[in-house]
């Protein structure tokens, strides 16, 4: 007599567990979609070449920047900061990052030269892909929220 009662209870419990697991899967999909990068593997490869040619001498081969980047040099300019997700670059929207590459770092107290006329708008975006590649998914997701504002 207990068996017929147990069967519906077991089915209800199984349904509840599957519903919870499904909800977790949907949350994971949502979180991973937030960190999906805007660039393709081909764009990243192109960006890494441009970054190596134009940016790595100051920002380092992996965007790690200068160790003492918060201290101005003898001319009052700040050296290249990390752009690998460990400093502040991810706090800036795509528009601000592009403007900084285009006009240089001098308006912000830095020593980075302006790349307007040296890199096309597309090449500037590819450079951003190259250094965003070093950003952890959680940093990229936070940047993505900032960029959508």
Phi, psi torsion values for 79, nearest 5 degrees = -75, 180
Q: What is the pTM of this model?
A: 0.75
Tokens representing 112 are 């980075």
- Residues 4-63 have pLDDT tens digits of 554 454 444 334 434 433 333 333 333 344 458 999 999 999 999 999 999 999 999 999
Q: What percent of the chain has pLDDT over 70?
A: 77
Q: What percent of the chain has pLDDT over 90?
A: 73
Dist CA 83 CA 86 (whole Å): 7
Match 């890199």 to its residue by tokens: 119
For the chain, give the mean pLDDT: 83
What confidence score (pLDDT) does residue 146 get?
A: 93
């Amino acid at each position: 007599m207990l068996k017929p009662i147990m069967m519906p209870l077991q089915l209800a419990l199984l349904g509840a567990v599957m519903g919870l697991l499904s909800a977790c899967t949907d949350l994971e999909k949502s979180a991973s979609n937030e960190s999906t990068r805007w660039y393709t593997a081909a764009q990243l490869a192109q960006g890494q070449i441009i970054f190596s040619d134009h940016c790595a001498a100051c920002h380092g081969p992996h965007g790690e920047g200068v160790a003492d980047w918060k201290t101005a040099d003898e001319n009052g300019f700040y050296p290249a900061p990390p752009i690998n997700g460990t400093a502040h670059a991810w706090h800036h929207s795509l528009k601000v990052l592009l403007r900084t590459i285009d006009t240089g770092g001098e308006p912000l107290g830095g020593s980075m030269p302006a790349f307007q006329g040296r890199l096309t708008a597309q090449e500037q975006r590819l450079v951003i892909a190259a250094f965003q590649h070093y950003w952890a998914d959680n940093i990229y997701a936070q940047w993505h929220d900032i960029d959508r504002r």
